[in-house]
Copies of this chain bind each other. A is one copy, B any other.
Amino acid sequence: MSVTIRDVAQASGVHVSTVSRTFSAPHLVNAETRTRVLAVAEQLGYRPNRAARSLTTGRTNNIGLIVADLANPFFPPLIKAAQAAARRQDYHLFVADTDENPAEEEDLVLAFSKQVDGIVLCSPRLSNKALEKLAKRVPFVLVNRRIRGLTTVVMDVAQGARAAMEHLAGLGHRRVALVSGPSGSWTSGEIRKAVLETPDLETVVIGPNSPTEEGGLAVAAQVAEAGVTGVLAYNDLVAIGLIEGLGALGVGVPGDISVIGFDDSITGRLYRPKLTTVAMPAGDAGRMAVDLLVQSMSAATVLETHLVVRESTAPPKGVP
């Protein structure tokens, strides 16, 4: 067990609050007591409690990062870059995973809010309204959700979706499917809009779907029967699940149906056939989100004061 403030108080013969003050406001403790407490603390190996200090200084030097699913290969490069950015600025990064569950997301924001100085919330599944409410409790930066008034880093997925559609059209495809993502996903909505606005391509939307291999596998038969020759999938995992499912139905990729993923994940790069995919600047997003968060937290605005000399001040008596 680690040494507590109570151990130090008992061994020093003072009250717990005196030990606390010795570390948080030493000028309020008389010199003799302070010296004794510090000596005892040193002897016992007492480490002033970060949580306790955070009550005084309002700082933990920790940043929380919340993702929808750690097992999705999209997230590790984002997390690693966020972590490196946090370390450069002397913060620790703690990561939590919502399992794509909005209620869990809210719960984790609240749990983090007292243990960290700020949160990077990636690909949130909560509603804009819920996020606006949470933003009043704790500083956070959103990744891949755009809400007026909140700091946000988004990747231009619409541009990527358009490029994917143009690639399919350029190959001669005329009727294609979008295998979309989960319903709470801003990214999926943006991709959908861009796909439906593509000229010269007939488009069917299949979804919402779980953003996993299982999600792709589950719609393989539907895709095979949709009369399409091309597919844009919500992400690489969905694309891979779909390709596996199509293979089981005897539908070849790209021989019979072309499939494009999203994310350019390591999983997609190692898969065979090597996936055509939309690369996402996930590392940049992680780094920039942390930088913006740290800037917003340390942006303590200092306003100048100035002295107004009127009539209540004068030289002391006797001074000419």
Chain A contacts to B: CB under 8 angstroms: 1-2, 4-5, 47, 49-52, 54-55, 58, 60-62, 64, 70-71, 73, 76-77, 79-80, 83, 87, 92-97, 99, 104, 107-108, 110-115, 136-139, 240, 266-267, 270-272
Contact = CB atoms under 8 A, between A and B. Distances in A.
B64 A114 contact: no
Given A1-B136, A138-B2, A267-B270, A97 B95 contact: yes
A62 B111 CA distance: 8
When all copies of this chain in the complex are counted, the total is 2
Contacts of A240: 270
27 contacts: A1-B139, A2-B137, A2-B138, A47-B110, A47-B137, A52-B55, A55-B55, A60-B115, A61-B111, A62-B115, A70-B76, A70-B79, A70-B80, A70-B95, A71-B76, A79-B97, A80-B99, A83-B97, A87-B104, A92-B96, A92-B111, A93-B96, A94-B112, A240-B270, A267-B270, A270-B270, A270-B271
A5 B266 CA distance: 47
B2 A136 contact: yes
A80 B51 CA distance: 27
A99 to B, nearest CB: 7
B111 A50 contact: yes
Contacts of A71: 76-77, 79-80, 266
Contacts of A92: 96, 107-108, 111
Contacts of A271: 270-272
Contacts of A87: 104
Nearest to A80: B71
Contacts of A1: 136, 139
Contacts of A5: 55
Contacts of A272: 271-272
